[in-house]
Homo-oligomer: A and B are copies of this chain.
Amino acid sequence: MSRPVVQFWYEFASTYSYPAAMRIEDLAERRGVELRWRPFLLGPIFAEAGWTTSPFNLLPVKGAYMWRDLERICASSGLPFTRPDPFPQNGLKAARIATALAPEQVPLFSRAVYLAEFGEGWRIDDEKMLATLITRAGANAEEILTLSAGNEAKARLRASVEEAKALGIFGAPSVTCADGELFWGNDRLEQAMDHALATHIPQ
């Protein structure tokens, strides 16, 4: 019998995507939901709103709260936390790599990027560091770096951004269900699974 499928939309620079990426696979597995990892970019979506940086930088008092909130979430889930500098990090290369990897390598690579970035405070635009993380995900670093810089990976990532826009996505992490229902934020992962299960027609 088929299982419901949800799409997990994440951006490598996004703070709340970190705890979400670290827990969503276990959650989906427990609930019997199939997960598609969908790396995308928020930059082009923010640009349409006239924003040139993270909204957390545009409203510093909100940014200060977000860092404290993230620190609390990490503490309560046993995740390491280090605030990366600069923020936001440039996640373009990591997103292209995630687009070029085989599906089963994507979660491993993505979690490794988040742990490096928000667990250890490392920069995630460095190719040497990214090569290490690709290797840890079980892929050939040289091959994937070449693929990720190619036109196909670029076009696929652009298509993902367009798809995210069409789905009404404006932030990360987001989860979308087969019927188009959108859930935004690490706080909504459980509800997204509930919705996917409640609306699923087994085939």
- Mark contacts of A177-188 with chain B using CB atoms, 8 A cut-off: 1 yes-contact digit, 0 otherwise: 000001010011
Query: Is A136 an interface position by the 8 A CB rule?
Result: no
Query: Is A85 an interface position by the 8 A CB rule?
Result: no
Within 8 A of B (CB), among A61-75: 61-62, 64-65, 68-69, 72
Q: Which residue of B lies closest to A49 (CB)?
A: B59
Q: A59-B170, A170-B59 are in contact. Are A187 and B184 (CB under 8 A)?
A: no
Contacts of A191 in B (CB 8 A): 72
Query: Is A121 an interface position by the 8 A CB rule?
Result: no
In-complex Cβ contact of A62 among B59, B65, B69, B170 (8 A): B170
Given known contacts A64-B168, A65-B170, what 14 new A-B pairs fall within 8 Å (CB)?
A49-B58, A49-B59, A59-B170, A61-B168, A61-B170, A62-B170, A65-B168, A65-B182, A65-B184, A68-B182, A69-B184, A69-B188, A72-B191, A187-B187
Contacts of A68 in B (CB 8 A): 182
Contacts of A188 in B (CB 8 A): 69
